Structure 1
Amino acid sequence: MLGWDVKDQLYDNAQYTGWHSGYPDAPVRILPHTCREIPFENGMLLFLAEFDQQAEAVCPRGTLRRVIQRCQDMGFEPFAALEYEFFMFDETPESARAKGFRDLKPFTPDWFGYSMIRNSVHAELYHQILEMGEAMDFPIEGLHTETGPGVLEAAIAYDHAEAAADKGALFKTFMKVLAQRNGLMATFMAKWSGKYPGQSGHIHVSLRDRKTDKSAFYDPSQAHNMSKLQRHFLAGQQRLMPEFLCMVAPTLNSYRRLIPGFWAPTDATWGVENRTAALRVIPGSDKSQRQEYRLGAADGNPFLALSVAIGSGLYGVMQEWEPTDPVSGNAYAVKHPEELALPRTLWDAAQRLKGSQAGREMFGDAFVEHFAASREWEEREYRRHVSDWELDRYFEII
């Protein structure tokens, strides 16, 4: 599992496992506290597990756990909440493939963001989704239509960071299961069609002091209620965003989403209640002061996305960095310093991670080397492919 890609093709550039090692078994550690019942399988129990021993170094959940441990060692408890947008189709795995994933029929037509009509007409499915979330311990605080035909957004209730990542992974998996059990399909691709906005996977993050249980981000005496620690945390997220991008945007398709004007960031910017920025500070109270990592997309691995959102912030605290001035208004219309520009391709993003000293400090050399190599493989596989766009553009005229 650690030596092949999403299409079961074996990596030829990974050091952890491969032909050179004979693909040995990797031990896993079952996590009893993650036990859940699968509601539509007669109470079948489900447990999550982590890779153990040497494999732990490249395990996404293990990577997040190490970041959380560092956070706790610094005196803070990280909390998080994940939001996912996903498109639903009136298709099956067979029909979608028969159509070549083209001209798919959306679950609902037209642009009906936040529509009470769609919610009410399809109330039975909405209730199934909400009830599944309750039964499997990933309660959904909000479920509504978003911008585009057949697109929904689910906001999962906040929790300790490790549990929040577990809930994100379970939601993505079982949302697809539930859709197919209803004769539908759900996709969490970052951008399944050039006609519509991309699909986000925004991350809300906050820290609480482990001794006092007070918010480490909240200081009502400061602008926007931002404590000094929150400023350092924000600065770490901002400065390291270009270096850690491929952990949050892990596919070729991820970079189709990161274009101006479609509610996705193109530079490592921040603003106060500004949804055009990559980082949105949300002023609040001791219980609600937080920031939103808006770079995240629906295609991200929740364990790695949270590792980045928390780990980069902690690094900023360790270095006592300060963020740039906040962006007011349209962040896309402002020219930003070159060092805030995000890599434009998966290959470039993988090179930034490989060369990141901060990444190696926070996630470990073994993880950085393995994950960057897997992203390089993904880019190389893409380059072997001849697209419909190329055929249409060049076949006759060249």
Structure 2
Amino acid sequence: MATITTDKKITVTEIQEIIKVKSVELLHLQFVDLEGILKHVTVTAEQLDSVVDGKIMFDGSSIKGFSPINKSDLYLQPDLSTFAVLPWSVEEGYSEARFLCSVKNPDGTDFEGDPRNVLKKTVEKAADKGYAINVGPELEFFLFETDETGRPTQQTQDFAGYFEPSPHDNGEKVRLEIYRALKAMGFTIEASHHEVAIGQHEINFKYADVLTAADSATTYKWVVKTIAKQFGLHATFMPKPIAGENGSGMHTNISLFDLAKQENAFYDEGDEQQLSDTAYKFIAGLLTNVKSFVAVTNPLVNSYKRLVPGYEAPCYIAWSASNRSALIRIPAVRGPGTRVEIRCPDPSANPYLAFAIIASAGLDGVEKGLEAPAAFDRDIFSMTAEELFLEEIDNLPTSLEFAVSEFEAGEIGRKTFGDHVFNEYVDAKREELDSFRTTVHGWELEKYHTKF
């Protein structure tokens, strides 16, 4: 991945002109909570000056992981580059638009509980070390039918397989409308196709600097769900909605750009793998820290039902220049496009927190000069438990409970997130685990209700 050169800069005057030409009446000021769930405050377009000046206030005590009731006043500071007219809102003489925002304290400082601010701090730390971070995420999703009340069912929208076209892939029309909406909002779409599982789809957009990538991933999930609903369908980014089928991943391609040399920091033409010393150290950082951050990249109880052998999900801690059974692989492209792909994250993750901790873990390897193990090119999925033991290939945590314990005991979480987000995140996950533990599930009733 080379550095990004985009036309992100947009002035207030240009925004005012778009508002006038497109007849924008409402502005949605968007941000995410601790889980990455999109929230927004809506104001009229006449309040643009107040919006730009960061004067729109909201109650932070009502947002998961944000403020206590006695310190609840927070403000939204829009990122002007994220301004976009919502294509599905456009009518004759009327439309709506949005900004993605960072959250501020009343004194104008960054609110430490805002996931977007966490990522911005990671960007600043990388810049201090001489690097920019580029990311290209690949988010898979499922489409399900809905019932007469609009609630999702377990019936997939199609029964097609990998790369199948219509008439088997009934999702083509849905993906086309998603593509059109994303394109209208400034995305560059690179590919769209049916995935391996029934009802599973993927639309890939162009990589960008890490903050833009997280903004794009957040927007993408919102657009996919919105367009699916227009077709009477439910789109889900739940990692494993169907037992016995492949789950949905968020493979994350990441690279560092050397700001001093103005070149991809992962590429070295003279190396056997054409990887730089920085790349090897970054890989080592990911491998060393992955157990401590997987609770963030795979944040649900359900996430660990995807990370099991037999469904193409990377369960084993190893890296390879091409092997898709490894946790980390290096895609074949070299030169400016050299990058590291970490394959365990899933699309339920908060993009801001996930990208921040992945980048921080890799940079930890660079900073400490960690040494990467040898690449492993065998098919790990076909290896026996004994072979894995002999090769000293460890596996990822097998449950959210194990992952949260590793996250809490490790250093990378608090180092990346700061005390507020770290503590709130652990508390939220512990609460989720306790809810799961005390719930009587359908499997238990089926197995035990009549037997005992």
TM-score, structure 2 normalization: 0.79
Measured in 2, the distance between the counterparts of 1:304 and 1:93 equals 36
In structure 1, the partner of 2:399 is 345
Measured in 1, the distance between the counterparts of 2:70 and 2:119 equals 28
Higher strand share: 2
Inter-CA distance 314–178: structure 2 relative to 1 (3 Å threshold): same
Task: Tell me the CA shift for residue 278 of structure 1.
Answer: 0.8
**Residues 202 and 292, structure 1, Cα contact 8 Å, conserved in 2:** yes
Task: Tell me the CA shift for residue 23 of structure 1.
Answer: 7.0
Q: Does 1:76 align with 2:131?
A: yes
Inter-CA distance 120–245: structure 2 relative to 1 (3 Å threshold): closer
In structure 2, the partner of 1:356 is 410
Q: Does 1:41 align with 2:89?
A: yes
In structure 1, the partner of 2:241 is 192
**Residues 132 and 258, structure 2, Cα contact 8 Å, conserved in 1:** yes
Measured in 2, the distance between the counterparts of 1:196 and 1:173 equals 24
Give the secondary-structure state (helix, strand or coil) at the position aligned to 2:146: coil
In structure 2, the partner of 1:183 is 232
In structure 2, the partner of 1:302 is 351
In structure 2, the partner of 1:210 is 259
Task: Tell me the CA shift for residue 329 of structure 1.
Answer: 1.7
Measured in 2, the distance between the counterparts of 1:299 and 1:16 equals 19
Residue type at the aligned position of 1:364: G
Measured in 1, the distance between the counterparts of 2:332 and 2:257 equals 15
Q: Does 1:106 align with 2:156?
A: yes
Task: Tell me the CA shift for residue 68 of structure 1.
Answer: 1.1
**Residues 205 and 291, structure 1, Cα contact 8 Å, conserved in 2:** yes
Task: Tell me the CA shift for residue 72 of structure 1.
Answer: 1.1
In structure 1, the partner of 2:197 is 148
In structure 2, the partner of 1:138 is 187
**Residues 190 and 204, structure 2, Cα contact 8 Å, conserved in 1:** yes
Measured in 2, the distance between the counterparts of 1:48 and 1:81 equals 19
Measured in 2, the distance between the counterparts of 1:5 and 1:166 equals 11
Measured in 2, the distance between the counterparts of 1:238 and 1:28 equals 37
Task: Tell me the CA shift for residue 247 of structure 1.
Answer: 0.7
In structure 1, the partner of 2:103 is 51
In structure 1, the partner of 2:142 is 87
Task: Tell me the CA shift for residue 288 of structure 1.
Answer: 1.2
Greater relative contact order structure (CA < 8 Å, 6+ sep) = 1
Inter-CA distance 24–157: structure 2 relative to 1 (3 Å threshold): same
**Residues 92 and 180, structure 1, Cα contact 8 Å, conserved in 2:** no
In structure 1, the partner of 2:334 is 285
Structure 1 gaps of 5+ residues are none
Measured in 1, the distance between the counterparts of 2:301 and 2:166 equals 35
Match of 1:96 among 151, 154, 159: 151
Task: Tell me the CA shift for residue 3 of structure 1.
Answer: 8.5
Inter-CA distance 246–131: structure 2 relative to 1 (3 Å threshold): same
Residue type at the aligned position of 1:204: N
Give the secondary-structure state (helix, strand or coil) at the position aligned to 1:116: coil
Residue type at the aligned position of 2:194: T
**Residues 360 and 412, structure 2, Cα contact 8 Å, conserved in 1:** no
Inter-CA distance 128–15: structure 2 relative to 1 (3 Å threshold): closer
Measured in 1, the distance between the counterparts of 2:232 and 2:36 equals 27
In structure 1, the partner of 2:424 is 370
Give the secondary-structure state (helix, strand or coil) at the position aligned to 2:282: helix
TM-score, structure 1 normalization: 0.90
Q: How many residues align?
A: 385
In structure 2, the partner of 1:237 is 286
**Residues 65 and 425, structure 2, Cα contact 8 Å, conserved in 1:** no
Measured in 1, the distance between the counterparts of 2:431 and 2:254 equals 31
Inter-CA distance 55–373: structure 2 relative to 1 (3 Å threshold): farther
Inter-CA distance 274–93: structure 2 relative to 1 (3 Å threshold): farther
In structure 2, the partner of 1:25 is 73
Moved more, 330-339 or 123-132: 330-339
Q: Does 1:393 align with 2:425?
A: no
Larger radius of gyration: 2
**Residues 291 and 396, structure 2, Cα contact 8 Å, conserved in 1:** yes
The RMSD of aligned alpha carbons is 2.6
Give the secondary-structure state (helix, strand or coil) at the position aligned to 1:217: coil
Residue type at the aligned position of 2:204: A
Measured in 1, the distance between the counterparts of 2:198 and 2:419 equals 43
Task: Tell me the CA shift for residue 147 of structure 1.
Answer: 0.9
Give the secondary-structure state (helix, strand or coil) at the position aligned to 1:82: strand
Inter-CA distance 351–216: structure 2 relative to 1 (3 Å threshold): same
Structure 2 gaps of 5+ residues are 1-31, 40-60
Inter-CA distance 165–15: structure 2 relative to 1 (3 Å threshold): closer
